[in-house]
Amino acid sequence: MPTIIEVLLWLLGIGVVGFLAFVGLTWYGIRRFSRSKRVRARVEQGQLNVRALSSDPTVREVARHRLAMRRSVEATDRAIEAAKESNRPVGELPQVAVDLRRAFRELDDDLRVVENEPDSGMRHRLLTDLLPDIQTHERLSGDLRRSLLHARGASSSALNRASEDLLLEAQSLAALGDGSSRTGRHHSADTRDDDADESRGTGRD
């Protein structure tokens, strides 16, 4: 008959084996998820490259904006990492990059909505509504990278002012998409305007 110590050792062994199996399965799952995520990203990149050559001007423009924003976000991430590795002052610029990435994800989702819009006229109208935010994102991303480039020679107060200004603008841009899509808000506003015009016309009749 096994002693209490032998039973405890046996249970401990089972626990260790179970823990190692859990860690192994978790690691395997993370690897699989990361790999599938990279594969999906490459597939989508290829699809966007094809759409960027579409004969439909709006589809072509949407794809090019999505590709341009992706390149901009990736360039910003690389610039942040390079500045940190070189021990250059960065101020609040890393947080600006976080907010710009959030704004990018929201704008990218909205551009997907535009892509899937079957009516070509509405598709063009929705894209036109999004262009100011897309251009703001492009400008802020460029300003951030320029600030990082000139951070070595800038005073800490100048860097802080630039960081704070960019942070406020980036947070405002990211907040525009919180809770609802930009395309949804624009479409609702247009619908309300059309309803109001129709109501005024009915009243005159």
Amino acid at 50: V
Compute the distance between CA of residue 191 and CA of residue 3 in angstroms, rounded to an integer: 79
Q: Are 152 and 116 in contact (CB under 8 A)?
A: no
pLDDT at 45 over 60: yes
Instruction: Say which residue, 157 or 197, is predicted with more confidence.
Output: 157
| Banded pLDDT at 184 (limits 50, 70, 90) | low
For residue 87, which phi and psi values (nearest 5 degrees)?
60, 30
Nearest to 101 by CA among 70, 145, 129, 80: 70
Compute the average pLDDT of residues 139-156.
Answer: 82
| Banded pLDDT at 26 (limits 50, 70, 90) | confident
pLDDT at 168 over 60: yes
**Percent of the chain scored above 90 by pLDDT?**
36
Compute the distance between CA of residue 79 and CA of residue 83 in angstroms, rounded to an integer: 6
Average pLDDT, the chain: 79
For 138, half-sphere exposure in the C-beta direction (CA atoms, 13 angstrom radius) is 13
Residue burial 141-157, b: 16+ Cβ < 10 Å; e: rest: bebbbebbeebeebeee
**Maximum average pLDDT range among 38-47, 99-108, 146-155, 180-189:** 99-108
pLDDT per position as a tens digit, 97-133: 999 999 999 999 999 999 989 999 999 999 999 999 9
Compute the average pLDDT of residues 174-184.
Answer: 64
Compute the distance between CA of residue 166 and CA of residue 146 in angstroms, rounded to an integer: 12
**Range scoring the smallest mean pLDDT among 28-42, 55-69, 122-136:** 28-42
List, in order, residues 6 or more apart from 190 with CB less than 8 Å away: 125
pLDDT per position as a tens digit, 70-87: 999 999 999 999 988 888
